[in-house]
Amino acid sequence: MGMNKVNLDLSSKKTIVIVEDNDLLSKVLEYRMEKDGFQVEVFNNGEEAIEFLSSNSFDLLITDLYMPFMNGSELIKYVRDNISATVPIMAISSTHEEDVIGNIFNIGANDFIVKPFRAGELSVRIKRLIG
């Protein structure tokens, strides 16, 4: 088990890491979260995100499941095994397959949201996870 990288500094803004290859979706999420007072880091795929996650603290990871180079499931597994066992992770995907969704929770995701979703709903879920 690796070092716990959860941000414990209460005076600073909470950091949310978004890993999403769809530029529109990541921008829309980034806009809202910045408006809600979070610090947001956006990456296009798991490989890029790991570099940041390994060396920085963060409070929430939001990841898409299907991405190039390293998909969301692999990223969640890597984070749980090597970076943090407790930091909240939310997965986003358009899949309705029960096996896939079940597997996401098994490997350590705390929440799952199916596309398409209400933009406002995500804010509510984020606040529930790290509010």
Residues that bind another protein (CB under 8 A): 22-25, 27-28, 30-32, 94, 96, 115-121
List C-alpha distances in Å: 119 to 21, 60, 92.
17, 17, 12
Nearer residue to another protein within complex by CB, 4 or 115: 115
Residue type, 86: T
Instruction: Give me the half-sphere count of Cα atoms (radius 13 Å) on the Cβ side of residue 48.
Output: 14
CB of 117: closest distance to another protein in angstroms?
A: 6
Q: In what order do the strands lie in the sheet with 111-114?
A: 39-43, 15-19, 60-64, 89-93, 111-114
CB of 99: closest distance to another protein in angstroms?
A: 16
CB of 53: closest distance to another protein in angstroms?
A: 24
CB of 115: closest distance to another protein in angstroms?
A: 5
Nearer residue to another protein within complex by CB, 21 or 48: 21
Nearer residue to another protein within complex by CB, 55 or 118: 118
CA-wise closest residue to 78 among 61, 59, 96, 98: 61
